[in-house]
Structure 1
């Protein structure tokens, strides 16, 4: 359609909308999120409640418990999940409401075993945190005031009943912290309840098992019909047009004619008359969008979004439902090649290297996560040059706004179903529950262009075949072992892929991460890999660059939060990694000893706790740098690098690159550079020293590679410049020498290699390389000068140093602010300007600004 015609139709549509805005709406939609109270079941101690929320946050808000994250308070709160809790509110139902054909309560999230009563009558009972429940309540309502009461039965007590009734013990990883939870007999009951696994504990999270109304509640009423769902199915995409089907699911009261219209941003694209039949029906309309603008991932293009609306008109009454879409093609390519089977995503016909991280919920209490918190984590991913986040299977199917933000930012989502590190019961009730859960969430999320792939589970196949679970179960009972794995196959090879095929057939399904195919354990040639040889195996950091699969979907290294964050959950008497509080906020069974082991390989022992935190950040960042650069250099063999993890659920020592308070660690600054569209990467492999260049852009680059060796005073010892042509979407080496020959006349303890890639006068990428461990370097004591200039939104801080300032760290004490760069090496004579985003005054900044370098940490 020509632009002028499109604008004409848009103006006509707007006029039409203004003319019909007075039409009677078929649907009434009212929030029921106010006026709630809660109490322990069997008591009359009613207290105000916040909905959405949970019992822990309500107890905290009412001063009944202390902050669960502070010091050792988590241990004092394990009684909460053994109790039943009751929530209640009242609402009015006037005669007009009751005259509607249907009145329904729409629960977007109940956690988890809930008995729902209206005016004392049981309406229904629920048992899945991940499902939405729409309940017909008209028969239970009376004109005037009505009481809605929900009793949440203890997830632990319900779990114990199911555990005891089951014929064998279902294997569960030690991440179910039953001992901390003071569960009868240490029973790991988490797998019997369809609830966020991380609530029962993890090796980076607390055990705080919640109950409550964790997503909104709506009272809905309608006549004639309701639009249950709208699916936009994309067909052909060309430069001139994109063709689609709109699948409109209706719930109809009685057979009669109706008109369904499809609009894009207010412009009518299709309209058709239907003879509706009573009950649930699926109605299809074909439409097209002219001159479509394609949706691209971050770094490759823009993210245009189209608002598609289905409007139902019956006898002049209208109701509508809208979803945003992006027009793009995406496939998970699994082709045989000389090395094995590929595993990469092709977007709009282009193979794309996936750069990103694993993502967990932003709080152990998900109802506390604000829009700003979602915005911060997605913006962090975007600013860090990422194009993918993996929503991990032990958390939650995220709120719609998370996917909306990813749509806007160009971040593809690897979406796990919510199963992680455990086998599951196979009774029909459980399997039916899983089937309904899959339908709910696939249908809810399928229109998002950011949704990239569905994955059945996290590490369960690996646990069965590689962690010894299969052998252990077979040693106890072959029949039980067979039953356990048959249930695995039922869920992950039948129920979940069937749901994807039925409700979202255009997307790929991957049964388990990591694996080499359905039911095939992971190797390095045919699928994705979780590599934990570094960390759990205490293998050296350089192994990150050699242990490489077709797609690296998980790997990581720990660090504690920075001191500013530690102060929010601990006191000075706790400032020792071996203190009781620090140990409680370190959930890895080998955490502290492993950090110390790796630290002493490369660094001298820090002089105090604050210095330990700083050096620990550097250790984590430098370690993951090996992985990020090694994975990217290995493209196209390897086509993805997702480190574990971008965020935290509470303040803790973990593998995160931003802490619970969303403060960037050194790792986040490092991956921002490591994931840049163009990367220059010096590295050692065997006896050779090489410089690789990775270009994610879709055009060739004519550039100049500038290399030099300088000493710590800035003197140039050696240099070489060479023109290079870097092909589009490629990785290749552009410098290759024997390491010993190259270092023959150089001093590795007092000199470093610096490389820069220029396109004319524009610096595309820079990097440096030290040939000796940091602990063996003769680091000077630099004098770093700084000058501060006020600018919009904060300050520009310009820095100079007379000698190498290794890992310059800027901080402003306990004040709030964000530095555009940090933890970087400042070379002699180099001038660097860092922007500080903050609201503090210049006088305060002068008082609190501190500069730290590595040499001062010993």
Structure 2
């Protein structure tokens, strides 16, 4: 045996060193397990190292800085570098370790060239490289070194023997040692190294004969060194600010020139609750009373007694929060208006409250098992019925069911009392102002986990004074026999992705609860569409789960099913399944569950066991049906970094799972791609921070928001931090074709605090997954906003999703891992959305989005509307931070001149709103699948009247942002790609567009023609197709500012898409638009139809003048009051018309909002304000 050596020091610059001698055998041979003994040996001084690294071939390398002014960075004589390596790759050409970056003029690297040892110093050939003759075997340890003599001659050594030498031109390198760099270089054929590097050392002297000799023998124990990972696992959280710890300084509070509005009570809701579902279900929505617990001096048992007098309590809004009731009863003003939220005391966040209800279940419930289910209580609740304490609820998203058979008396009056307590850590709200800025995003309440964490205050919502505590979802009493049917799981798997020949296999898993002490015999039956089947079962005490599979019941194989598709790709067909458990011929329990037939798969890049990056298509549904669990890793250890960003890994041993298919198309790079029914979905949409800041979430209030999303042509809504987790949200998403990216209740890693109670978090998650898993709209479960949950929660979520669902992708993180990083959130140059921003799959990208003039006037006091005031700042007009509005205002000033009034601001701001939001999605379109696969705005939905991050306002009014998105996201679209100004066709439909004609016309601001181009071509399905090279620069330079009209028509001349741009050679040239003459625009309007609860009006615009009409805005109003009619759904708006052009716009509106006298107001960039009456 020959003694080898390993330097003890693991990094940094050292002088004389101690070496550890190891027993070893042979060159490149297996190592002996001999235990090392410490020996002091004389060696050349090591300036840096030794470093040990584990490098994934698909990952990244490591970098170690040299000292400033380090002589070795410029060394040309008398230095050396050595290392040991074990390669995972055969015949590799790769850099192992060296000084400087490979793209520099004078890097110097130990490397492999087709598996042969090499030293490379930039360039090629003699004087730039030394290459040995014999390849080195993979999978075993080899030594590699370069030693440069005082005379400048370089010696390349492999396994202790010289394999090449020569004089190499060396120069100054940057001061860093790089191990396995990923940078491009001029050396042909270079790929990233994969394997182990050991004892990487840089010396200020040549290697001695003893040192060279020691490198001929592999030291024992190299495999057991403490290797530093090139691609490190995802880190755990190390910090988290807790928000404000003291009230805000009075000088930084917002101030208004107007007084608070007086509180205004609304009439009490009068009515009674009627039983449904054959008398087996009673929803408690009437008769609720509310009181502050500080005013109540008796126990819960007494409050829940029949003799308690609640006459002095106030009528409560249920479902609803405490604050919703206090506003409705006239205690506090509406916080939506101005600074009126400041009129509500922040101390409310520390108050507890009592709810009380007297209800009478139908007598038909007698003799049956009775359950009371609380669909949503925030945050802590104690339940009493008829003087008895029933139980507790903790967390806003529990779906808590109590057996109340012994407490509730059907046919008689019963009393329910609910004691509500706030979160443990309500925190202190920050108040936005011009001076104070937007404040922190969240605070100490994040410790409380499953609640409405944003209500402590975020940069898009003020602190909600009660933190949204209350009975915010329904309370339901149900009756059943001995066996109760719980929420089933309905799994739909498509045998062929071709919709024309698809067969769907339906698997139903039915949980059956049996709280009796004896087993119960009976049959479980299901029915949907024309499928009817039943199965005899024995339900043991405690319950069981029954599976009904296509293998056992062939009728569950559905031929040519009606599929559920995202918006823009097909119909949203939904099916209702009836489930029943019968004892004899009597139904013990009946449940209905709505579902959609569809399957979602996911293209993704992931590390395999060898460290390579593989592009695969993951089918969680296949894995679920095989009972094999997930095949994609979602752990801190499984997340690793690549040159393109963080990605996940394949679960060890699952590389060959039938749930994974190779995906040879690497165009999206590492980005996630979502496929529905075998079709790639170009995901376009936005986040909802919260549907409504007070959780006023009735279907009547929320449905218009979903319809607006559908009409904006988007197809995904992100349920940010799980704040919208309620029945109506998912029901409407199903109906309107919105895919849901569904977060849980944890936010930004190393910024927000992590939940304090993982068991509480996971209990709420369990109910959420079980309750909503059958909604076809849910596409992704996401563990955390901007980060990975702490390990206990992340592992727990992955386990719950696997067990309770298993048919969807679980993404632990909302950005970075197979996704683009968050942001930006402020106004950007439109062309940047085409070239560098939000590439791949981006879950958050936002920009300023002030609402319409009328919306401003509706939520701000007249005294504070202009100039920009604290009221603006309070409603999210940020002076700094992520959402700073300065770039937006600066662009207005540069392009059009400073705004002089609110009206002038609206006129100019809507130009930027339209242009900017259109660019976000046209930039996405321009690189569809290369690499773009998803882009979500931050946000589409405002939680309250806001000036930021929205495509419509809280009152349903739609401004320029909405129509920019609507235009860019249409399924068939013609657009101009910036910055080159070339024209392209975007076809997001499933069929090619054959023989379509694209026309592009260019005019100056006086409507003088400058350029006209036409092309006829075929546009491929679900793709971007280049159409015209415009060569617009000459026109821009000549005219300064140009107008561009695009049209796309089919072979019969039918208009498929049009688009209109105003473009300038430089920003100041946009001011030429200020000189455009007033347009000669005429309009005619009539009420065309009234269908049920919806009216329709038709408006025809005609430009009869000689100049273009730019950004013409239509607003439907009550002719008597002048108030807007909302919601109103416009087929188009902010339209631009060339001379002689005609445009017809359809407006749909609810007849409940309409009056006998209606009008449409017109205004625009150069359109004189006018009104037209609507005639029947």
State the TM-score bracket (shorter-chain normalisation): 0.7 to 0.9
How many positions carry a matched residue from both structures? 768
1:487-527 CA-to-partner distances (Å, cap 9, x unmatched) read 623223x11121111111111111111122xxxxxxxxx42
1:334–1:93 distance in 2 versus 1, CA, 3 Å? closer
Structure 1 gap segments, 5+ residues each: 1-23, 164-171, 462-486, 517-525
Task: Report the Cα distance in structure 2 between the residues aligned to 1:700 and 1:635, rounded to whole angstroms.
Answer: 16
Q: Tell me how far 1:97 sits from its aligned partner.
A: 5.2
Residue 229 of structure 1 aligns to a residue whose secondary structure is coil
Residue 913 of structure 2 aligns to a residue whose secondary structure is helix
Contact 1:26 1:317 in 2 (8 A): no
The answer to whether 1:530 aligns with 2:822 is: yes
**What is the aligned partner in structure 1 of residue 834 from structure 2?**
545
Contact 1:577 1:583 in 2 (8 A): no
**What is the aligned partner in structure 2 of residue 490 from structure 1?**
792
Residue 799 of structure 1 aligns to a residue whose secondary structure is strand
Contact 2:747 2:787 in 1 (8 A): yes
Q: 1:133 aligns with which of 357, 376, 400?
A: 400
Q: 1:445 aligns with which of 772, 793, 798?
A: 772
Residue 199 of structure 1 aligns to a residue whose secondary structure is helix
1:789–1:215 distance in 2 versus 1, CA, 3 Å? closer
Range with bigger deviation, 323-332 or 418-427 = 418-427
Contact 1:514 1:528 in 2 (8 A): yes
1:798-836 CA-to-partner distances (Å, cap 9, x unmatched) read 222311122112234423163432212221121112234
Q: 2:1044 aligns with which of 733, 742, 753?
A: 753
1:822–1:240 distance in 2 versus 1, CA, 3 Å? closer
Q: 2:1145 aligns with which of 821, 831, 834?
A: 834
Range with bigger deviation, 808-817 or 103-112 = 808-817
Contact 2:668 2:840 in 1 (8 A): no
1:97–1:757 distance in 2 versus 1, CA, 3 Å? closer
**What is the aligned partner in structure 2 of residue 584 from structure 1?**
874
Task: Report the Cα distance in structure 2 between the residues aligned to 1:426 and 1:849, rounded to whole angstroms.
Answer: 51
Q: Tell me how far 1:304 sits from its aligned partner.
A: 2.2
Task: Report the Cα distance in structure 1 between the residues aligned to 2:507 and 2:745, rounded to whole angstroms.
Answer: 29
Q: Tell me how far 1:229 sits from its aligned partner.
A: 1.8
- 4+ residue stretches of structure 1 with deviation over 6 A? 24-27, 93-96, 172-177, 839-843
Contact 1:631 1:641 in 2 (8 A): yes
Q: Tell me how far 1:27 sits from its aligned partner.
A: 8.6
Residue 68 of structure 1 aligns to a residue whose secondary structure is coil
The answer to whether 1:704 aligns with 2:997 is: yes
1:643-662 CA-to-partner distances (Å, cap 9, x unmatched) read 12222121121211111101
Aligned pairs for 1:130-209 (under 5 A) are 130-140=397-407, 145-155=413-423, 158-159=424-425, 188-208=444-464, 209=467
**What is the aligned partner in structure 2 of residue 810 from structure 1?**
1114
**What is the aligned partner in structure 2 of residue 565 from structure 1?**
855
1:197–1:549 distance in 2 versus 1, CA, 3 Å? same
**What is the aligned partner in structure 2 of residue 412 from structure 1?**
739
Contact 1:88 1:148 in 2 (8 A): yes
The answer to whether 1:310 aligns with 2:572 is: no
**What is the aligned partner in structure 1 of residue 1016 from structure 2?**
723
1:497–1:129 distance in 2 versus 1, CA, 3 Å? same
Residue 414 of structure 1 aligns to a residue whose secondary structure is strand
Residue 791 of structure 2 aligns to a residue whose secondary structure is helix
Residue 568 of structure 1 aligns to a residue whose secondary structure is helix
Residue 705 of structure 2 aligns to a residue whose secondary structure is helix
1:224-274 CA-to-partner distances (Å, cap 9, x unmatched) read 110112111224535364222211101112302111112113x44322111
**What is the aligned partner in structure 2 of residue 52 from structure 1?**
319
**What is the aligned partner in structure 2 of residue 103 from structure 1?**
370
Aligned pairs for 1:793-808 (under 5 A) are 793-801=1095-1103, 802=1105, 803-808=1107-1112
1:535-590 CA-to-partner distances (Å, cap 9, x unmatched) read 1xx65332122124211222111233323223332221111253232222226453
Task: Report the Cα distance in structure 2 between the residues aligned to 1:343 and 1:354, rounded to whole angstroms.
Answer: 11
1:742–1:259 distance in 2 versus 1, CA, 3 Å? same
Q: 2:537 aligns with which of 263, 274, 282?
A: 274
The answer to whether 1:852 aligns with 2:1164 is: yes
Aligned pairs for 1:570-649 (under 5 A) are 570-586=860-876, 588-590=878-880, 591-636=884-929, 637-649=931-943
**What is the aligned partner in structure 2 of residue 355 from structure 1?**
684
Task: Report the Cα distance in structure 2 between the residues aligned to 1:223 and 1:586, rounded to whole angstroms.
Answer: 53
**What is the aligned partner in structure 2 of residue 736 from structure 1?**
1029
Q: Tell me how far 1:129 sits from its aligned partner.
A: 0.5
Task: Report the Cα distance in structure 2 between the residues aligned to 1:114 and 1:842, rounded to whole angstroms.
Answer: 45
Aligned pairs for 1:205-244 (under 5 A) are 205-208=461-464, 209-238=467-496, 239=501, 241-244=503-506
Task: Report the Cα distance in structure 1 between the residues aligned to 2:1040 and 2:409, rounded to whole angstroms.
Answer: 84
**What is the aligned partner in structure 1 of residue 341 from structure 2?**
74
Task: Report the Cα distance in structure 2 between the residues aligned to 1:326 and 1:142, rounded to whole angstroms.
Answer: 38
The answer to whether 1:300 aligns with 2:569 is: yes
1:383–1:510 distance in 2 versus 1, CA, 3 Å? same
Contact 2:907 2:1165 in 1 (8 A): no
Residue 815 of structure 2 aligns to a residue whose secondary structure is coil
The answer to whether 1:87 aligns with 2:396 is: no
Q: 2:1071 aligns with which of 775, 784, 787?
A: 775
Task: Report the Cα distance in structure 2 between the residues aligned to 1:377 and 1:426, rounded to whole angstroms.
Answer: 31
1:46–1:747 distance in 2 versus 1, CA, 3 Å? same
**What is the aligned partner in structure 2 of residue 521 from structure 1?**
none
**What is the aligned partner in structure 2 of residue 501 from structure 1?**
802
1:842–1:203 distance in 2 versus 1, CA, 3 Å? closer
**What is the aligned partner in structure 1 of residue 57 from structure 2?**
none
**What is the aligned partner in structure 2 of residue 14 from structure 1?**
none
Task: Report the Cα distance in structure 2 between the residues aligned to 1:841 and 1:325, rounded to whole angstroms.
Answer: 35
**What is the aligned partner in structure 2 of residue 323 from structure 1?**
593
Task: Report the Cα distance in structure 2 between the residues aligned to 1:141 and 1:201, rounded to whole angstroms.
Answer: 41
Contact 1:175 1:202 in 2 (8 A): no
Range with bigger deviation, 770-779 or 139-148 = 139-148
**What is the aligned partner in structure 2 of residue 478 from structure 1?**
none
**What is the aligned partner in structure 2 of residue 10 from structure 1?**
none
Q: Tell me how far 1:358 sits from its aligned partner.
A: 1.8
Residue 791 of structure 1 aligns to a residue whose secondary structure is strand
Task: Report the Cα distance in structure 1 between the residues aligned to 2:482 and 2:455, rounded to whole angstroms.
Answer: 42
1:70-120 CA-to-partner distances (Å, cap 9, x unmatched) read 2222112123222111111233579975643x3332111111111222344
Contact 1:176 1:201 in 2 (8 A): no
Aligned pairs for 1:645-724 (under 5 A) are 645-685=939-979, 688-701=980-993, 702-724=995-1017
1:25–1:203 distance in 2 versus 1, CA, 3 Å? closer
Task: Report the Cα distance in structure 1 between the residues aligned to 2:926 and 2:887, rounded to whole angstroms.
Answer: 28
1:188–1:588 distance in 2 versus 1, CA, 3 Å? farther
Task: Report the Cα distance in structure 1 between the residues aligned to 2:572 and 2:333, rounded to whole angstroms.
Answer: 44
Structure richer in helix, relative to its length: 1
Contact 2:1077 2:1166 in 1 (8 A): no
The answer to whether 1:393 aligns with 2:737 is: no
Residue 372 of structure 1 aligns to a residue whose secondary structure is helix
Task: Report the Cα distance in structure 1 between the residues aligned to 2:532 and 2:408, rounded to whole angstroms.
Answer: 41
Q: Tell me how far 1:677 sits from its aligned partner.
A: 1.2
Contact 2:673 2:680 in 1 (8 A): yes
Contact 1:362 1:369 in 2 (8 A): yes
The answer to whether 1:822 aligns with 2:1089 is: no
Q: Aligned-pair RMSD on alpha carbons? A: 3.1
Task: Report the Cα distance in structure 1 between the residues aligned to 2:997 and 2:364, rounded to whole angstroms.
Answer: 75
**What is the aligned partner in structure 2 of residue 373 from structure 1?**
701
Task: Report the Cα distance in structure 2 between the residues aligned to 1:609 and 1:603, rounded to whole angstroms.
Answer: 15
Q: Tell me how far 1:425 sits from its aligned partner.
A: 4.4
Task: Report the Cα distance in structure 1 between the residues aligned to 2:1076 and 2:432, rounded to whole angstroms.
Answer: 45
Range with bigger deviation, 547-556 or 735-744 = 735-744
